[in-house]
Amino acid sequence: MNLPFDEEIILENSFALLRPLEISDFPNLLKIATENKKLLQFSPTQIYSEELLRTYIEKANSDRQNNIRYPFIIFDKKKDAYAGSTSFLNISNIDKRLEIGSTWIGSGFQKTGLNRNCKYLLLCFAFDKLGAERVEFKTDERNQVSRTAIEKIGGQFEGILKSHTLMYDGFRRNTVCYSILKNDWINLKLNFTKPL
């Protein structure tokens, strides 16, 4: 596996377009990031102010330059609007695995099928283009909405890492781990974008 950090990866279908997140995307995401302070309540990183969002985007781009993360901006084609961000991260080319995470979508775009279509595009790229053997998902043990969403796309529960991640407020969260393996994807892909 060899994730091409220096290439402009663009993934799209009739619902969503994912393209590399750039510093210039700050105004595209500002309203979504600041309209709901609790949007990322279960995330170690916050984005609810101009300063926090700018720092988030700068760090995401720095991580891409350092070949440890590939961040995307999410565009909702049905609503003709920018909706949030997601990333490939914790990438291990030698082990043929990566994580899909750091995903956040504005409140007005949730429960519309957008996130599911984004996951489909990312999983297709990871398994079918990169040749990944394993895709991981991690979330806060308390985040039942995220856990349910991961399970609905076929993520298999693997366990809980206790006191795993330091949160923005000093709390140490337990992190729940899920995965989809290459063999799982062969079957999941067939019905992935059909309504549940």
The C-alpha angle 74, 187, 114, rounded to 5 degrees, equals 20
Which pLDDT score is estimated for 59?
97
Alpha helix (H) residue ranges in the chain: 26-34, 50-65, 114-124, 144-152, 182-188
pLDDT digits over 159-179, tens only?
A: 999 999 898 888 899 999 999
Which pLDDT score is estimated for 172?
94
| 149 pLDDT more than 60 | yes
Which pLDDT score is estimated for 155?
96
User: DSSP code of 155?
Assistant: P
pLDDT digits over 79-119, tens only?
A: 999 999 999 999 999 999 999 999 999 999 999 999 999 99
Domain spans in the chain, listed from the N-terminal domain onward: 11-191
Residues 26 and 54 sit within 8 Å (Cβ to Cβ) = yes
Alpha-carbon span 32 to 10, nearest angstrom? 22
Distance, CA of 121 to chain centre: 11
**CATH class of the 11-191 domain in this structure:** alpha beta
pLDDT digits over 110-120, tens only?
A: 999 999 999 99
What's at 74, amino acid-wise? I
- Both tokens of 34, joined, read 């600041």
Which pLDDT score is estimated for 34?
94
Residues 154 and 184 sit within 8 Å (Cβ to Cβ) = yes
